[in-house]
Amino acid sequence: MNKVNWKFDNTYLKLSKPFRELIKPTPVHNPEIIIFNDKLAEELNLDFSKLNNKELSNIFSGNDLPKETKTLAQAYAGHQFGHFTMLGDGRAVLLGEHLDNKKNRYDIQFKGSGRTSFSRGGDGRAALGPMLREYIISEAIHSLNIPTTRSLAVVKTGEKVVRENLLDGAILTRIASSHIRVGTFQFIASTQNIENLNILVDYTINRHYPELSSSKFKAYDLLKILIDKQCSLVINWMRVGFIHGVMNTDNMSVSGETIDYGPCAFMDHYDPKTVFSSIDKFGRYSFSNQPPITKWNLARFAECLIPIIDKNEDYSIKLASDLIDNFQNIYEDKWLKMMKNKLGLFGEDKNDKKLIDDLLDWMKKNKADYTNTFCNLMGINSDEFFKNDDFNDWKNKWKKRSKLNNLSKEKQIKLMRKNNPIVIPRNHKVEEALAAAEKGNIDKMKKLLMILNNPYHNHKENKEYVMSAPKSNETYQTFCGT
Ligand code: AMP
Ligand code: MG
C-alpha cells in the first residue's frame, strides 16, 4: 500500500500503558467511500490517485490498514456539562502520526471504527449524517482560517447503526495536529502519577510548543501558552458566529484547534444567548458563554498541573490562579482588536468599545443577521433590512470614527474583507446538503463545500448561500450526533 506515501512515526504508542489501549478497528461489512478530500491528501503529501474506489473504501473503513500502523484508543477523562467522567476513545482509533514532507506531524484517526474498552454502553459506531456534518463544518472552519481538525474521508460501512431510527453507519477519517485534550491531562492527573504527568507535559511541549522545551518552568509556561491559544481560538469563533455547542473539557484540544463537531452551528441573527444544541437546556455553551466556559475549562487544566508547577502547593495554586484570573484581560484586549478588525478601525479611540456595543445592541434588538450586517458595512449586502434609521445613525458614527484612521477607504475595506466572511455554513443549507447525501446524492454537499472553501470571496455563485435562514428556521436545533 505504500504507493500512497504514508510516513508513520507513532510516538503516542511509546507512552506507557495508562495512556492508551492497543486495539484494532472492527472490520465492516461493505464499505463504500462517500467523500474524499483530495486537496487535504495533497497537503499531507499523500497520493491516493492510483487507487480505485474499492481500495479507498477498504483503507478508510479500517478493513485494510496500512502496515506501518499499530492502532490504539486514547484514554482521557473530562467534565461533561460540568460533571467529571472517565471517558476515552469509545468509538475511535488512532492509526498513528503521519509526517508530511516538511516533517509536520498529523494524527490520523478513524471515528466510528468499533468498540474499545472505553465504549461504556455505546456501540462504537457513528452514523453517516453526523460524520458528513463534521466533514462540512470542520472544512468550513479551516477555510475561515481558524485552527481545526480536518476531514480526509467518510465511508459508509454498509451496516446500520441503531439510534432513534436505524441509520447508515459511517467512519470519518479525522486529521489533527494531535488528539491531546484537556481531558487527557485530567485523566493522567486523576491517577496521581506525577511521573506520567511530567511525561505528558514534555510530550505536549515537544509536539506543540517546542519553544518551551528548554523552559525551567514547563508546566507553568504550558498553562500560560494554552490560555493564550484557547483565548485566540474562542475569539475566532466569536468573530464568525460559530457556536461549538459541547465545550466539555474532553472536547478541548491542547493544540488550540477546534475539535469535535457535534451539535455545533453558526448563528444567523445576532443573539448572544443563542444555543442550538437540544441537550444544552441551560445555555451553558451559548454563544456568549463560550469565553467564560473557555476560562472554566482552562481552570480545570490548571488544576491538573498544580502538583508540578511548583513543589510548594500553595505557591503553585497562587501562580496558576494568577494566570487564570488574567484570562479576562487577555480576552477583552483580543476581543476589542477583533471587533475593530471587523469594522475596519485602525488606531484607538476611547469610544471604540461603546461604538461596538451600540452596533451589537442594534443587531440584537432588530434580529439582524450577524454575518450579513458586516457584509452590509463592507458594501456587499444592500438588503432592504439595513435601510433603517437607527442603523444609519450608527453608521454615521462609524464613518466619523473611521476618518480618524487617516487611511484610505481601500485599506479599511481590505481589513474588513479579511475578517468578515461573506459565506458561512448556513444551517438550512447544511441540512439540505445532508438530507440529499443521506439519500445517496452527494452533489449538493460537494457544491456547498466548494462555496465554503472560499468564504471571504464575493462570488456570483454565492447568492443562495448568503441569504439568512428562512423564518421557519428560527427554532433550529442540533443533536449530539452519535
Ligand atoms: P463526544 O460526545 O463525541 O465528545 O463523545 C463523548 C464520549 O462518548 C467519548 O468518550 C466518545 O468516545 C464516547 N462515545 C460517543 N459515542 C459513542 C458510541 N456510539 N459508542 C461508544 N462510545 C461513544
Ligand atoms: Mg468528544
Instruction: Report, as an integer, the average pLDDT of 57-66.
Output: 98
Distance of CA 314 to the CA centre of its chain: 35
- Global pTM reads 0.98
State residue 83 phi and psi, 5-degree precision.
Answer: -105, 130
pLDDT greater than 70 at residue 1: no
How many C-beta neighbours within 10 Å does residue 213 have? Answer: 10
- Tell me 181's DSSP state: B
pLDDT greater than 80 at residue 141: yes
481 lines ligand 1 (CB under 6 A): no
pLDDT for 2: 61
Q: How far apart are the first and last CA of the chain?
A: 31
> How far are the Cα atoms of 61, 140, 235, 366, 368 from residue 232, in angstroms, in the given order?
35, 18, 5, 29, 25
Q: Which atom of ligand 1 is found nearest the CA of 248? A: 4
Encode pLDDT of 209-263 as tens digits: 999 999 999 999 999 999 999 999 999 999 999 999 999 999 999 999 999 999 9
What one-character-per-residue DSSP string does 328-353 give?
Answer: HHHHHHHHHHHHHHHTT--S--TTHH
How many C-beta neighbours within 10 Å does residue 407 have? Answer: 15
- Tell me 215's DSSP state: -
Encode pLDDT of 359-418 as tens digits: 999 999 999 999 999 999 999 999 999 999 999 999 999 999 999 988 899 999 999 999
pLDDT for 482: 65
Helix (H) and strand (E) counts for the chain? 16, 12
Ligand nearest to the CA of 253: 2
* Ligand 1 pocket: which of 91, 171, 172, 279 to mutate (most atoms within 8 A of CB): 91
Q: Which among 250, 268, 280, 352 is annotated as catalytic?
A: 250
pLDDT for 481: 62
Instruction: Report, as an integer, the average pLDDT of 189-197.
Output: 98
Ligand nearest to the CA of 481: 1
User: Burial, 50: exposed, middle or buried (Cβ in 10 Å; 0-12, 13-18, 19+)?
Assistant: exposed
Side-chain half-sphere exposure of 225, counting CA atoms within 13 A: 20
Encode pLDDT of 146-188 as tens digits: 999 999 999 999 999 999 999 999 999 999 999 999 999 999 9
pLDDT for 129: 98
pLDDT for 474: 83
262 lines ligand 1 (CB under 6 A): yes
184 lines ligand 1 (CB under 6 A): no
Nearest alpha-carbon partner for 10 in 72, 110, 96:
96
What one-character-per-residue DSSP string does 234-248 give?
Answer: HHHHHHHTEE-S---
CA dihedral 435, 139, 265, 479 (to 10 degrees): 50
Q: Are 412 and 405 in contact (CB under 8 A)?
A: yes
Instruction: Report, as an integer, the average pLDDT of 446-470.
Output: 93
**Average pLDDT across the chain, whole number:** 97
Instruction: Report, as an integer, the average pLDDT of 121-143.
Output: 98
CA dihedral 181, 121, 93, 204 (to 10 degrees): 20
Encode pLDDT of 73-97 as tens digits: 999 999 999 999 999 999 999 999 9
Q: Which of 471 and 354 is assigned the larger pLDDT? A: 354
For 32-165, where are the E strands, in sequence order?
A: 32-36, 72-74, 77-80, 83-86, 92-99, 105-111, 126-127, 150-162
Q: Which atom of ligand 1 is found nearest the CA of 482? A: 16
CA distance 157 to 58: 10
Instruction: Report, as an integer, the average pLDDT of 37-51.
Output: 97
CA dihedral 230, 11, 184, 231 (to 10 degrees): 0
Q: Give me the residue label for grid cell 481500495.
A: 55
CA distance 326 to 341: 23
Q: Are 105 and 99 in contact (CB under 8 A)?
A: yes
Instruction: Report, as an integer, the average pLDDT of 288-316.
Output: 98
pLDDT for 472: 81
Distance of CA 316 to the CA centre of its chain: 31
CA distance 103 to 239: 32
Catalytic site includes residue 268: no
Q: Give me the residue label for grid cell 473611521.
A: 402
CA distance 11 to 25: 19
pLDDT for 388: 95
125 lines ligand 1 (CB under 6 A): yes
Beta carbons within 8 Å of 463's beta carbon, 6+ residues apart: none
For the chain, the structural domain boundaries read 2-179, 180-422+466-482, 427-465
123 lines ligand 1 (CB under 6 A): yes
Q: Which atom of ligand 1 is found nearest the CA of 88? A: 10
pLDDT for 198: 98
CA distance 361 to 4: 53
